[in-house]
Amino acid sequence: MAERAALGRAARSPLFVGACVMLGLIILAGALADVVAPYSPTAVGAAQMFAPPSGHHLLGTDRFGRDVLSRILHGVRVSLGIAGVSILAALAVGGALGLLAGVGRRVDQVLGRVMDVFFAFPPILLAIAVAAVLGAGVGTAVIAIAVVYGPFFFRVVRGSVLVESTQAYVEAAEALGAGRLVILRRHILPNVVSPVVVQTAVCLSYAILIESALSYLGVGVQPPLPSWGTILNEGKEFLALAPWVSLFPGAAIVLAVLAFNIVGDGLRDALDPRTEVR
Amino acid sequence: MGAYLARRLAATALTLLGVSALVFGMIRLVPGTVVEQLLGQAAIASPEVVASFRAYFGLDRAAHVQYAQWLGGVVRGDLGVSWLSGRPVLGLFLERLPVSAELAVLAVGWSLLLGIPLGTGAAVWRGGTRDSAIRLAATIGLSLPAFWQGTVLILLFSIYLGWMPSLTWAPLSERPLANLITLALPALTLGTATAAMITRMSRSSMLDVLGRDYVRTARAKGLPERDVTFRHALRNALIPVVTVAGVQLGYIVGGIVVVEDVFTLPGVGRLLLDAIFQRDYPVVQGVILLLGAIFMLLNLGVDLLYAALDPRLRRG
């Protein structure tokens, strides 16, 4: 109940609402890309190479005469799709291991040491390392991001489980003879949901950044598939000639990441009592 | 302090061992088709080259034997040689390190100079318009992809305004001014997310401290608000900020790869990317291991500094 009230407060912040609307619009644009995009994202036009933004091509065209707006709209699916799937995988694996660690002490020690190794790398470096080994591609990007953020979910879930385990209501349930798994599922799990939701929103913004960075560097999504980072990668050689090929997909990344960050911050302020608004 | 130091060092050593195992193991995850392709190319050269490739990919010996041998080399500073240039990996890395290190220091430097005053200001002005503006600016700073920010800066300063030579490199020792001008935009780009994090951390840390008893005591005994803020509150509020700055310095180790690519700087990030594209695996492995080790040692250094600043932690 308290959570619902807190969410209600967040919903009255214009910034939070604006970010939610922005996210909704981006997702809708991606879902309806086939309908709303003026051209096919891969249709080439030799006569239209590097056309500046105009009535025909709102955001201009690239070196193959492909419509930049259409590529960005179709890129929503690729960029947000990879971010979503990879964070889901990170949540599933990291979260499951976190639950496991929160219950057994021996498991906790072993898993904690293993996770420390993954935390020993800066996130983008770890992602690049995974990409370097597996070779560029969509699957690689998903695995790379999942490997980077799995340990984050592990830490959040493990921490919450440990905190909840010491609460009086858990001791009471134990005293009443409830088994460990029952306590975990009925009592602890529901309390872990809030921090996980916050972590998911924040990680989604990082995932978009990492996917686009990998693709920009040329070790993520490969052309002609349009991800926002790939479009930027294809534009970087022609920056002076056709800046619009680089500027607009970057703006799309900023809008999406900003929206996820604002939603994440809003959720944290609302759901996490430790960071109450002062 | 001694016990804390020993515990922390032991944990770091254990993690470093894990890191080395991971970096060693990653080469075994290279898809078989790629290995066959490389072996095919090696076969053209000579049977000896094929043999050395087979040995490198662990096709001729048990994994643990290979790992022990490799680790033995690493401990003695032998990270292997580049397949392309035939030069030792460690030498290649150390040659490129000054560029990246200078870039990282500049980036963290400006982000501290900007982030601490902004965060402190936001805390002092909490709830007001200035606070909201600073918080929003920090959120935007966290949302800017470095490669795009760098692209926009190059476009603005080099192409439209013609102010900065963005693509020529001058070493600090030879032409210091040209060097600093060349690194200005990359350092600005690299430090933006860090400045945003430090602003946020300074704000929340300052808010925390301003609510403490000793600050109320300072106010109660009639000290001017400025003295309360700067003498009593800020000093203590900076302790957690030091930690964040250190952790951020670590993240900057990763960001360097991206920023060096955007601004075509000859640092270790560029070395890593070139090696990836040319499948020069010994260099890839060596650079990742060394960057991981640097990241860990930075974290260790920050933890120790934190313990030195905050006496409560030493006993914990």
pLDDT in the model for residue B168: 64
Subunit contact A258:B140, Cβ cutoff 8 A: yes
For chain B, give the mean pLDDT.
85
Question: How far apart are the C-alpha atoms of B254 and B42, rounded to whole Å?
Answer: 33
Whether chain B has a CB inside 8 Å of the CB on A247: the answer is yes
| A 186-215 residues inside an 8 A Cβ radius of B | 205, 209, 212-213
Percent of chain B with pLDDT over 90: 34
As for the ipTM of the complex, it is 0.86
Helix (H, G, I), strand (E, B) or coil at A57: coil
pLDDT in the model for residue B164: 63
Provide the token pair at A170. Answer: 């858990």
Whether chain A has a CB inside 8 Å of the CB on B126: the answer is yes
| B 247-306 residues inside an 8 A Cβ radius of A | 250-255, 257-258, 261-262, 272-273, 276-277, 284, 288, 291-292, 295-296
Taking residues A221-247, what's their average pLDDT? 90
Question: How far apart are the C-alpha atoms of A33 and A36, rounded to whole Å?
Answer: 5
Buried b (16+ CB within 10 A) or exposed e, B179-205: beebbbbbbbbbbbbbbbbbbbbbbbb
Helix (H, G, I), strand (E, B) or coil at A112: helix
Q: What's the pLDDT tens digit per position in B205-215? A: 888 888 888 88
User: In chain B, where do the E strands start and end?
Assistant: none
Which pLDDT band holds residue A57 (cuts at 50, 70, 90)? confident
Q: What's the pLDDT tens digit per position in B177-204? A: 888 888 999 999 999 999 999 999 999 8
For chain A, give the mean pLDDT.
87
> Nearest to residue A61, comparing CAs of A79, A77, A35, A41?
A41
Question: How far apart are the C-alpha atoms of B90 and B79, rounded to whole Å?
Answer: 6
Identity of the residue in A134, A258, A278 whose CB atom sits nearest the CB atom of B143: A258
Question: How far apart are the C-alpha atoms of B105 and B123, rounded to whole Å?
Answer: 27
pLDDT in the model for residue B316: 45
> Nearest to residue A181, comparing CAs of A195, A161, A166, A157?
A161
Q: What's the pLDDT tens digit per position in A33-55? A: 888 888 888 888 777 888 889 88
Best residue of A72, A125, A228 to probe chain B, by most B CBs closer than 10 Å = A125
* pTM over the 0.90 mark: no
| Mean pLDDT of each 10-residue bin along chain B, 316 residues long | 81 89 84 76 73 72 81 89 89 94 92 93 91 94 93 88 67 79 91 93 88 82 81 80 76 90 92 91 92 88 79 58
Whether chain B has a CB inside 8 Å of the CB on A230: the answer is no
Subunit contact A257:B145, Cβ cutoff 8 A: yes
